[in-house]
Amino acid sequence: MRISRELHDSVGHHLTALCLHLEAALNGSPDQTNEGIQNAQSAAKEALEEVRGVVSTMQGGEDIHLHSALRLLAEKIPRVRLHLSIAEELRITDAARANSVLRCVQEITTNTLKHSNAENLWIALRLNDGGIEIEASDDGRGRRRAEPGFGLTAMRERFEELGGVVSFETGIEQGFLVRAWLPANEAGAMK
């Protein structure tokens, strides 16, 4: 289950971006075609790196640097403007918590790209009540109700395994809203 969640959240995100870049290349002007192919090639390389990263993590590889990973994610999003706000004082030293936060942000971003038709996505990460709080919303079209698929279910399970909570809200006129909170239960997990 852990491997399937890692692959879905990490590789799935990059494959979604790859598909969007290829679609732009196919439907764009000749000038846009070359740029779309270059972006698709970059997304494919990133997906391959993610596969290597998942394998490394499963074998007890190195911790991730959360701030850098999130900033890189924000730079590589096609079609949607990601407005990312990360509290400067936020430092997560526990690899499981850092990975859960990164995968949560990736899943939110991927779902926005695939389902919402949004132009903007706002994600804020901050310290609150002894843990990390994530709040994300988009300006896309929502649904009458949130029906979590594999990705949202995996996100919730990741957080619950570490003592956290995740909630989803949606509506036809309001886009999609995700709120998540993850405690710093273990000594040294957050600074």
Domain segments of the chain as ranges:
2-183
Kind and range of the H or E run holding 29: none
Q: Pull the structure tokens for residue 64.
A: 């991730």
| pLDDT the model gives residue 62 | 42
Weakest-pLDDT range from 59-68, 94-103, 134-143, 173-182 = 59-68
8 Å CB contact between 180 and 155: yes
Q: How far apart (Å, rounded) are the C-alpha atoms in residues 24 and 107?
A: 22
The pLDDT-based confidence of 186 (bands split at 50, 70, 90) is: low
Which of the two residues, 72 and 167, has the higher pLDDT score?
Answer: 167
CATH architecture of 2-183: 2-Layer Sandwich (3.30)
- Classify residue 155 as left (phi > 0), alpha (psi -120 to 50) or beta: alpha
Strands (E), 31-174: 81-86, 120-128, 131-138, 165-171
| pLDDT the model gives residue 122 | 95
